[in-house]
Amino acid sequence: MNVYDFDKTIFDGNSMVHFIARLAKKNRSVRQRMPEIFVAGVQYKMNIKPERSLGKMYSELLLLIDVEKELEDFWAEKTKRIKKWYLKQKEPTDVIVTASPEFLIQPIADELGVRLIGSRVDRKTGAMISKNNKGAEKVVRFRAEYPDAKIEKFYSDSWSDTPLAREAEKAYFVRGDRRTKWSKKKLAK
């Protein structure tokens, strides 16, 4: 089994940023709420009550839109951002383990025919219903679903994923389309 982070790993960019930008461009209500969405995003990046900040950001957003329709339109436009190197090596046993909300990534995971473990968010209210699936939490969530699974290869663009990289036989750090072996120094810590 191979495991992949999503944003900036197999997707070119940050899917939530692209989703919000697309909504703001076409939806007046979302544009009006952008200050609140922006502040919540900054608080998350500054690690100020991260789950609460994300929940606030998601609730500001999701209460203003038809989630199903917007996701369908979003992925119809953004599927082309899945990196070609990933599409060439994709296998049906792949698992995407991401901090992004499952409601956002599930449609593309289904289209790719792979499994997904992401942050759980109530798609009606925007409330977080799990911890943010980041860093060591990715290992906890992965092992809860696949307790005995062997990760052959792991790919991510973020050093914060080192705990999951340690679980893999081989780990690769991704920058754009370039994949290099994970730093032995980082794995040893």
Give the span between the Cα atoms of 58 and 41, in whole angstroms: 10
Instruction: Decide which of 74 and 41 is more confident.
Output: 74
CA distance from start to end of the chain: 25
Q: So what's the pLDDT on residue 19?
A: 94
**3-class SS letters over 63-86:** CCCCHHHHHHHHHHHHHHHECHHH
pTM for the complete prediction? 0.93
pLDDT at residue 162 is higher than 80: yes
What is 2-188's CATH number?
A: 3.40.50.1000
pLDDT single digits (tens) 45-75? 888 887 888 888 888 888 788 889 999 999 9
Evaluate whether 98 touches 161 at the Cβ level (below 8 Å): no
Evaluate whether 146 touches 1 at the Cβ level (below 8 Å): yes
Q: Give the pLDDT band of residue 110 (cuts 50, 70, 90).
A: very high
Q: So what's the pLDDT on residue 171?
A: 97
Q: So what's the pLDDT on residue 43?
A: 87
pLDDT at residue 188 is higher than 80: no
Q: How far is residue 106 from each of residues 6, 29, 125, 131, 147, measured CA to CA in Å?
A: 11, 25, 17, 18, 22
